[in-house]
């Protein structure tokens, strides 16, 4: 572990942690993930959403239980090292960093897609990354305050959009029927894997364990409350989109919530929805930058990433080198990647991350157990099943990036074998 002067400051309470988790989940998929899920499963995405929620709950209990025992920055990277060994920790940390870096790019592109015309989207996405990295640089309490405002506004906009779509549109209950489900069981599982992208935001709470007051009580409570709130929001929005648009129109939509309002003949409301979507993406990006920075800090402390990234700002008590490096990498990605591809790749990395979390939680002994071991079995099996049913391109890129990471660590370990394990 790092020396005391390198520790982060414990400044977050329970409500702060809940808001950061909600900010990550509400913005991470409610305006983006339903379209690819509908393309995979049609109306079967509702079953996929339920499956993703079950797997997410099992994973959340594992994360909550581990975070209470190991309240340090890094999340499952730390838990995997402590419970299973350095290689397991590296797999989890690498999965989180590469997966959530892709998520950062996806959220920056989502913000730009809703905020500006096509020609300006990528430069605007870069500006958003740089601006929010600057907010994070100034301290975690500023991150929490801004996220609180964003979450409140986004929830209000979503409630407004749902009300307008249902009251001004032509919702058809038949569109929810199984005859509108496509893709069979494989498509349903693929939709669950894509929608899991939306629920993975509660990991941000665990990765910030070194900055939460009374972490043994705060983190488990915040994780479960934030997840429950996100599940309710996603279920309401998913049903509304299918009722108003139908699965075919939803699958081809690039802005589903705005299209649902527009199809209801309420064009006057579309600018409000687009502004809310842009703000939601900013909220998710803000929390993502904070979470990836903390995991990078933990990995750098153990030399699994360059030690330069382990620096903590002497005044603001944040991993400022890690956040600057992340902003640079994400800025390059938003100039080159595709939004839907980023979602699939992110899901791959995060599902591997939670697979390690479930295995680590399985090994915890009675004094630290808060949930039955059966939930860890559900979580691990669910993660494995969802990861193999993701789009082939996402799986292919995911396997390749993990192979590169493992080879780099193997090379480093062999070089340092006389000094380190």
- Ordered by start, the domain boundaries in the chain are 10-409
Q: What is the pTM of this model?
A: 0.80
Mean pLDDT comparison of 40-44, 169-173, 209-213, highest-scoring range: 40-44
Tell me what pLDDT residue 4 has: 42
Buried b (16+ CB within 10 A) or exposed e, 353-368: bbbbbbbbbbebeeee
In this prediction, residues 101-113 reach a mean pLDDT of 86
In this prediction, residues 369-389 reach a mean pLDDT of 91
Helix (H) or strand (E) holding 268: none
Cα gap 241→73, rounded to integer Å: 38
Tell me what pLDDT residue 206 has: 65
Tell me what pLDDT residue 366 has: 86
Please list, in sequence order, all residues whose beta carbon lies within 8 angstroms of the beta carbon of residue 407, skipping any fewer than 6 positions away: none
Least confident interval from 68-77, 79-88, 269-278, 411-420: 411-420
Buried b (16+ CB within 10 A) or exposed e, 86-115: bebbbbbbbbbbbbbbbbbbbbbbbbbbbb
Q: Higher pLDDT residue, 17 or 367?
A: 367
Tell me what pLDDT residue 191 has: 92
pLDDT-derived band at 32, boundaries 50, 70, 90:
confident
Q: Among all chains, which residue has been given the structure tokens 């393309």?
A: 39
Tens-digit pLDDT profile for residues 1-15: 444 445 556 667 777
- Give which of 393, 106, 149 is closest to 276, Cα–Cα: 149
Cα gap 1→7, rounded to integer Å: 9
- Give which of 73, 109, 28 is closest to 301, Cα–Cα: 73
Q: Cβ distance 105 to 342 under 8 Å?
A: yes
In this prediction, residues 392-397 reach a mean pLDDT of 89
Cα gap 227→96, rounded to integer Å: 18
Tell me what pLDDT residue 140 has: 52
In this prediction, residues 142-153 reach a mean pLDDT of 76
- Is 90 exceeded by the pLDDT of residue 342? no
Tell me what pLDDT residue 346 has: 84
Within 10 angstroms of residue 271's Cβ, the number of other Cβ atoms is: 11
Q: Cβ distance 206 to 63 under 8 Å?
A: yes
What length is written for the chain? Answer: 421
Q: Cβ distance 132 to 237 under 8 Å?
A: no
Tell me what pLDDT residue 39 has: 92
Least confident interval from 92-106, 161-175, 190-204, 224-238: 190-204
- Give which of 201, 352, 411 is closest to 285, Cα–Cα: 201
Tens-digit pLDDT profile for residues 286-296: 777 777 877 88
| pLDDT averaged over every residue in the chain | 84
Tell me what pLDDT residue 255 has: 81
Cα gap 217→407, rounded to integer Å: 38
Q: Higher pLDDT residue, 31 or 231?
A: 231
- Is 60 exceeded by the pLDDT of residue 421? no
Tens-digit pLDDT profile for residues 51-91: 999 998 899 889 888 988 887 767 788 899 999 999 999 99
Share of the chain above pLDDT 70, in %: 90
Tell me what pLDDT residue 80 has: 93
pLDDT-derived band at 254, boundaries 50, 70, 90:
confident
Tokens at residue 263, please? Answer: 């199809």
Tell me what pLDDT residue 261 has: 92
Tell me what pLDDT residue 2 has: 41
Please list, in sequence order, all residues whose beta carbon lies within 8 angstroms of the beta carbon of residue 256, skipping any fewer than 6 positions away: 31, 34, 35, 241, 245, 250
Q: Higher pLDDT residue, 203 or 308?
A: 308
pLDDT-derived band at 41, boundaries 50, 70, 90:
very high
- Is 80 exceeded by the pLDDT of residue 20? no
Tell me what pLDDT residue 207 has: 62
Tokens at residue 107, please? Answer: 């959220």
332, 335, 338, 342: CA torsion to nearest 10: 20
pLDDT-derived band at 28, boundaries 50, 70, 90:
low
Tell me what pLDDT residue 144 has: 67
In this prediction, residues 366-391 reach a mean pLDDT of 90
In this prediction, residues 252-260 reach a mean pLDDT of 87
Cα gap 132→129, rounded to integer Å: 5
Tell me what pLDDT residue 356 has: 95
Which fold, 10-409?
Amino acid/polyamine transporter I (1.20.1740)
Q: Higher pLDDT residue, 203 or 314?
A: 314
- Is 70 exceeded by the pLDDT of residue 208? no
């Amino acid at each position: 572990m790092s020396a005391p002067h390198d520790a982060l400051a414990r400044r977050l309470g329970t409500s702060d942690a809940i808001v950061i988790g909600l900010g990550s989940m509400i913005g991470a998929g409610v305006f983006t993930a339903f379209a690819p899920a509908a393309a995979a499963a049609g109306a079967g995405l509702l079953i996929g959403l339920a499956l993703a929620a079950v797997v997410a709950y099992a994973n959340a209990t594992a994360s909550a239980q581990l975070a209470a025992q190991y309240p340090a920055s890094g999340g499952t990277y730390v838990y995997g090292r402590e419970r299973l060994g350095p290689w397991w920790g590296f797999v989890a940390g690498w999965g989180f960093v590469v997966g959530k870096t892709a998520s950062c790019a996806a959220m920056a592109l989502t913000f730009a897609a809703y905020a500006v015309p096509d020609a300006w989207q990528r430069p605007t996405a870069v500006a958003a990354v740089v601006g929010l990295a600057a907010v994070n640089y100034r301290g975690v309490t500023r991150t929490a305050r801004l996220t609180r405002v964003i979450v409140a506004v986004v929830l209000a906009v979503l409630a407004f959009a749902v009300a307008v779509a249902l009251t001004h549109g032509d919702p058809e209950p038949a569109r929810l029927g199984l005859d509108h489900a496509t893709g069979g069981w494989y498509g349903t599982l693929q939709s669950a894997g894509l929608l899991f992208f939306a629920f993975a935001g509660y990991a941000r709470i665990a990765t910030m364990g070194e900055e939460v007051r009374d972490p043994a009580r705060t983190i488990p409570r915040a994780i479960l409350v934030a997840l429950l709130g996100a599940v309710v929001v996603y279920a309401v929005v998913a049903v509304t989109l299918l009722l108003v648009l139908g699965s075919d129109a939803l699958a081809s939509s690039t802005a589903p919530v705005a299209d649902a309002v527009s199809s209801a003949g309420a064009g006057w409301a579309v600018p409000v929805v687009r502004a809310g979507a842009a703000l939601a993406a900013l909220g998710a990006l803000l929390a993502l930058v904070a979470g990836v920075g903390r995991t990078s800090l933990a990995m750098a402390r153990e030399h699994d990433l360059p030690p330069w990234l382990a620096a903590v700002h002497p005044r603001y008590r944040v991993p400022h080198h890690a956040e600057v490096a992340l902003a640079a990498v994400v800025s390059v990605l938003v100039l080159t990647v595709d939004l839907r591809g980023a979602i699939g790749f992110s899901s791959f990395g995060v599902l591997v991350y939670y697979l390690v979390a479930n295995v680590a939680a399985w090994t915890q002994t009675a004094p630290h157990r808060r949930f039955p071991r059966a939930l860890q079995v559900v979580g691990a099996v669910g993660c494995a099943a969802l990861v193999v049913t993701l789009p082939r391109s996402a799986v292919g890129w995911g396997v390749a990036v993990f192979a590169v990471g493992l080879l780099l660590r193997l090379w480093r370990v062999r070089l340092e074998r006389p000094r380190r394990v």
